[in-house]
Amino acid sequence: MVGIDSNILLRILIADVVAAQDAPDQFSLVRSLVADSKERFFVNHIVIVETIWVLRQKLKHGNDAIRRQVQRLLKMSNVEVQDSATVAAALESFEAYPGDFSDHMIGQINRQNGCRTTYTFDRAASKSPHFSELKR
């Protein structure tokens, strides 16, 4: 198994968009890596959160597009996602409550590690049952 970072994952997930904007040699390298490799690829939580940040902030993808990309990632046969159950639970929370995907990852990771809540000033995130808004 080999790890990949968000730059590689983006090129895998949104090849059509990246190919149009990217240096062609980088896109070709990633395409060859994925097509020719018998390796499994490991994607950790930070890579997922960075990737989704780029999808939302730089490529202007909405929640539906982000949901589809996370679902696709979780279903890839040659990819092992760090604690995929937590990522899937964060996706469910993201679909049900306001807030960024990273907020829901934080809430799920904390919940999986025994936290009854996560304090935040973020009003959107505080709508999730995994968060409590810290107020005066």
Residue 25 has pLDDT above 80, yes or no: no
* Number of other CB atoms surrounding residue 61 within 10 Å: 18
Residue numbers of the domain that contains 110: 2-133
Q: Tokens 């968060």 label which residue?
A: 131
* Residue 136 in tokens: 């005066």
Entry pTM: 0.86
Could you tell me what percent of the chain has a pLDDT over 90?
71
Give the model confidence (pLDDT) of 27-62 as tens digits: 777 777 777 778 899 999 999 999 999 999 988 999
The predicted pLDDT at position 86 comes to 96
Binning the chain into helix, strand and coil, the percentages to the nearest 5 are: 60, 10, 30
* Residue 40 in tokens: 């499994």
Give the model confidence (pLDDT) of 60-114 as tens digits: 999 999 999 999 999 998 899 999 999 999 999 999 999 999 999 999 999 999 9
Q: Tokens 């808004």 label which residue?
A: 133
How many separate domains does the chain show?
1
Residue 12 near residue 78, CB atoms below 8 Å: no
